[in-house]
């Protein structure tokens, strides 16, 4: 029995991390995970093996977190139009975005992206989280959010552009800091 308790604790921790990313609220996240696990245990007692799979638990957690988000008042955020890149009359960038510096490792990139994703308008944030952060396909997102796949792809594209704008200032600071370091002070690639 200790083994199954450990498995439940590990699965619950993963589901809780997933719910926290969307809800940004500990109490609501715990309630979502509790409900998902209670339903999974109830389904287990009725013999529904598919209800116990990790993927199904993950999907149920996402669905319940999205339902919770729909019930909430809109999150105060920036307008997407203010975050999209601006272009000159000749179709060139008004301000050329920077590339990722080599010193920013993938785990640090993920933390930066998640931190800045909280500033996106809610429809774009949700689509970006589902598509890029959690790897759900456009069809699943469209069905779940009751929008067209075209709208999913458009919001995802706009969210990526907005994140690039939000990250640009931070990347410029990172590049400037790496230029002012002596070769001995620079982080290893």
Q: What is the pLDDT of residues 132-184, one digit of tens each?
A: 988 899 999 999 999 999 999 999 999 998 888 888 877 776 666 666 654 54
Residue 68 has pLDDT above 60, yes or no: yes
Structure tokens given for 43: 């389904």
Residue 2 has pLDDT above 90, yes or no: no
Q: How much is the pLDDT for 133?
A: 87
Contact (Cβ atoms closer than 8 angstroms) between residue 162 and residue 152: no
pLDDT bucket at 77, cuts 50 / 70 / 90? low
CA gap 172, 80 in Å, rounded: 21
- The residue whose two tokens read 């944030």 is 125
Q: How much is the pLDDT for 1?
A: 45
Q: How much is the pLDDT for 76?
A: 60
Percent of the chain with pLDDT over 90: 31
Residue 87: φ, ψ to 5°: -125, 150
Q: Stretch 34-53: mean pLDDT, rounded?
A: 73
Minimal CA–CA distance to 39: which of 55, 10, 61, 67? Answer: 61
Compare 41 and 105 and report the one with higher pLDDT. Answer: 41
């Amino acid at each position: 029995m200790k083994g199954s308790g450990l498995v439940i604790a590990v699965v619950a921790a993963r589901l809780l991390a997933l719910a926290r990313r969307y809800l940004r609220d500990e109490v609501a996240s715990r309630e979502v995970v509790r409900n998902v696990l209670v339903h999974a245990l109830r389904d287990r007692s009725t013999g529904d093996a598919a209800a116990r799979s990790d993927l199904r638990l993950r999907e149920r957690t996402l669905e319940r977190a999205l339902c919770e988000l729909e019930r909430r008042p809109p999150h105060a955020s920036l307008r997407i139009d203010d975050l999209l890149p601006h272009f000159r009359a000749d179709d060139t960038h008004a301000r050329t975005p920077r590339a990722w510096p080599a010193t920013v490792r993938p785990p640090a990139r993920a933390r930066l992206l998640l931190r800045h994703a909280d500033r996106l308008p809610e429809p774009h944030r949700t689509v970006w989280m589902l598509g890029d952060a959690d790897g759900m396909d456009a069809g699943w997102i469209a069905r779940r959010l009751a929008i067209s796949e075209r709208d999913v792809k458009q919001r995802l594209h706009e969210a990526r552009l907005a994140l690039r704008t939000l990250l640009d200032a931070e990347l410029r600071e990172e590049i400037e800091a790496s230029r002012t370091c002596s070769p001995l002070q620079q982080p290893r690639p």
